[in-house]
């Protein structure tokens, strides 16, 4: 027996894909992904319409989806993150049905709870055998972890593995086993490895970023959490990476060994593992090729599914054991709600990803962002989009002051500790005031009443909507 089929077109025919169905994709190939575009092109060619695309993320490389929307091939998008190119088009109102935004934990959990049904999953696999045992750890398009694809493989009615490195059966050490695979397709290229490392993965040299990073490291230190067994997640932004560098220095100096580093894993987290700062790494996605190599070669570096990373449908998830997370924001409001979905002009340019999952699970959630960006104040009265609710945010670090969220009766002790550590603690309203003294008060945006996207919290409930830009 073999599950090999000739090409993507034949795979689509065999799955029985019809008008009105939902197909899914994962985004470990990031901005180098070819699979989503290849599949949609073939779907369009076969005259199939009214398809909903459920992709863990939509990147700029997926721009061709805009034409598929205009032609009625794609009528729905569900994702956890959307880059600005497609996001811009969505905000101009090209699609009738609102986009559904989930979180990295909410997406697999909604599949497992049955509230999000996938008819056919297409899984980009850097290496697979002809029965569908597959992995991202090896192959010319190696992307490391394929953690977001596990739920798709386990829950979709039909599963198509798309690979550009077909190996003889059996592939040992596979991430997703053959039990879930219906068909396997070999193509020339599932992606461009250069696009995998598209994220910002350099430590900032900007003095503002370094100041914020230093404050964030001192906040963690003062909180008392930076001790034996500490666990940490940082983003891939320049300032959070710089914070990791300061934290690493403290850990090495005091001989602190943490339990795990988590997240989208970067070379910097790998460096901390290898320097002895952590006992392990928990990896749902690799941001660069050092992370890919480490996941492949180092048994302490563990691949996990998105459910295990951040879901709410399992009996626990790794975010529940997370001590500290460092996250970014485009806006924070006076109630500590964070926007990572829309830019200052109201256009979609991101999404929660694991933002609200890690904020909810961690003991200490720190938002790092500059007081102003291109004149616009970080702190506003009401975030344009609520991506992560304020109840899950503990501290906002800017270069001009640090606000502690003592609403909901929490963090009173933390605030005292930060003041005792001589950190520049202030109220969130002070950060707004300081920015407005420099910039002036911004005029509000004209937005229409038409909803172009709904934002679902990790438990599947709607926490906000995004309106079309006028």
Partner 1 sequence: MEIKKSATAGTMESSDAFVMVSPADELITEINSVVYTQYGKAIEACVKETLASLGVTKGKVAVTDKGAIDCVIAARVETAVKRAGGEN
Residue ranges that bind partner 1, judged by CB under 8 A: 344-345, 372-376, 438-440, 442-443, 445-446
Helices (H), 77-184: 84-91, 106-113, 150-155
Give the 3-state secondary structure of residue 89: helix
Judged by beta carbon, residue 139 or residue 401, the one nearer partner 1 is: 401
Quick one: which H or E segment has residue 346? Answer: none
In whole angstroms, how close is the CB of 164 to partner 1 at the nearest point? 38
In whole angstroms, how close is the CB of 378 to partner 1 at the nearest point? 13
Judged by beta carbon, residue 222 or residue 239, the one nearer partner 1 is: 239
Sign of torsion over alpha carbons 260, 336, 54, 469: negative
Are the CB atoms for 3 and 132 separated by under 8 Å? Answer: yes
In whole angstroms, how close is the CB of 246 to partner 1 at the nearest point? 24
Judged by beta carbon, residue 173 or residue 440, the one nearer partner 1 is: 440
Judged by beta carbon, residue 373 or residue 407, the one nearer partner 1 is: 373
Sign of torsion over alpha carbons 48, 49, 50, 52: positive
The one-character DSSP state at 9 is: H
In whole angstroms, how close is the CB of 92 to partner 1 at the nearest point? 15
The answer to whether the bond into 434 is cis (omega within 30° of 0) is no
- The helix, strand and coil proportions of the chain, stated in percent and rounded to the nearest 5, come to 35, 25, 40
Judged by beta carbon, residue 234 or residue 372, the one nearer partner 1 is: 372
- Burial degree of 438 (CB within 10 A; 0-12, 13-18, 19+): exposed
In whole angstroms, how close is the CB of 348 to partner 1 at the nearest point? 17
In whole angstroms, how close is the CB of 442 to partner 1 at the nearest point? 4
Are the CB atoms for 364 and 413 separated by under 8 Å? Answer: no
CA distance 98 to 91: 10
Judged by beta carbon, residue 162 or residue 469, the one nearer partner 1 is: 469
Name the residue with tokens 């989806």: 65
Reference 290, options 196, 171, 353, 166; nearest CA is 196
Judged by beta carbon, residue 275 or residue 445, the one nearer partner 1 is: 445
CA distance 67 to 71: 6
Give the 3-state secondary structure of residue 145: coil
Are the CB atoms for 261 and 233 separated by under 8 Å? Answer: yes
In whole angstroms, how close is the CB of 435 to partner 1 at the nearest point? 10
Judged by beta carbon, residue 14 or residue 373, the one nearer partner 1 is: 373
In whole angstroms, how close is the CB of 403 to partner 1 at the nearest point? 22
Judged by beta carbon, residue 252 or residue 445, the one nearer partner 1 is: 445
Name the residue with tokens 């050092």: 290
In whole angstroms, how close is the CB of 345 to partner 1 at the nearest point? 6
In whole angstroms, how close is the CB of 234 to partner 1 at the nearest point? 23
CA distance 404 to 393: 9
CA distance 81 to 73: 21
In whole angstroms, how close is the CB of 437 to partner 1 at the nearest point? 10
Judged by beta carbon, residue 294 or residue 399, the one nearer partner 1 is: 399
Token pair of 112 as six digits: 């497992």
Which residues are CB-neighbours of 25 under 8 A, at least 6 positions away? 33, 35, 36, 39, 53, 54, 55, 56, 121, 122, 124, 152
Judged by beta carbon, residue 7 or residue 345, the one nearer partner 1 is: 345
Burial 259-274 (b: 16+ CB within 10 A, else e): bbbbbbbbbbbbebbe
């Amino acid at each position: 027996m073999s599950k090999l089929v000739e090409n993507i077109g034949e795979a689509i025919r065999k799955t029985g894909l019809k008008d009105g169905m939902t197909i899914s994709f994962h985004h470990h190939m990031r901005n180098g992904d070819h699979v989503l575009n290849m599949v949609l092109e073939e779907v369009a060619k076969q005259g199939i319409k009214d398809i909903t695309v459920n992709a863990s993320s939509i990147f700029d490389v997926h721009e061709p989806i805009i034409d598929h929307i205009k032609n009625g091939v794609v009528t729905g998008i569900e994702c956890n993150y959307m880059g600005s190119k497609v996001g811009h088009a969505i905000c101009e109102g090209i699609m009738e049905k609102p986009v559904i935004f989930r979180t990295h934990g909410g997406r697999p959990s909604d599949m497992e709870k049955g509230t999000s049904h996938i008819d056919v999953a297409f899984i980009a696999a850097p290496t697979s055998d002809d029965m569908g045992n597959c992995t991202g750890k090896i192959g010319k398009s190696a992307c490391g972890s394929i953690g977001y694809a596990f739920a798709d493989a386990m829950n979709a009615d039909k599963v198509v593995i798309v690979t550009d490195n077909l190996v003889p059966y059996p592939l040992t050490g596979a991430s997703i086993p053959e039990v879930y695979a219906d068909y396997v397709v070999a193509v020339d290229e599932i992606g461009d490895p250069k696009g995998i490392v598209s994220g910002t993965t350099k430590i900032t040299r900007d003095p503002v970023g370094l100041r914020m990073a230093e404050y964030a490291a001192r906040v963690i230190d003062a909180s008392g959490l930076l001790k034996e067994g500490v666990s940490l997640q940082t983003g891939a932004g320049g300032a959070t990476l710089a914070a990791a560098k300061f934290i690493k220095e403290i850990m090495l100096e005091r001989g602190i060994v943490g339990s795990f580093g988590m997240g989208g894993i970067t070379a910097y987290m790998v460096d901390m593992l290898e320097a002895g700062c952590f006992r392990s790494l928990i990896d749902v996605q690799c941001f660069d090729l050092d992370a890919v190599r480490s996941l492949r070669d180092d048994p302490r570096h563990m691949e996990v599914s998105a459910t295990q990373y951040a879901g709410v449908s399992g009996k626990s998830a790794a975010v529940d054991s997370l001590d500290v997370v460092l996250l970014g924001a485009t806006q924070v409001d006076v109630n500590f709600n964070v926007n990572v979905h829309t830019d200052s002009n109201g256009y979609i340019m991101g999404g929660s990803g694991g933002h609200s999952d890690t904020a909810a699970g961690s003991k200490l959630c720190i938002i790092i962002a500059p007081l102003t960006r291109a004149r616009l104040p970080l702190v506003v009265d009401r975030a344009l989009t609520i991506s992560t609710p304020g109840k899950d945010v503990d501290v906002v670090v800017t270069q001009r002051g640090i606000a502690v969220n003592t609403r909901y009766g929490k963090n009173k002790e933390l605030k005292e500790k930060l003041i005792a550590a001589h950190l520049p603690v202030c109220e969130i309203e002070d950060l707004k005031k300081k920015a407005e003294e420099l910039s002036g008060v911004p005029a509000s945006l004209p937005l229409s009443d038409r909803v172009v996207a709904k934002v679902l919290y990790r438990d599947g409930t709607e926490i906000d909507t995004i309106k079309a830009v006028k």
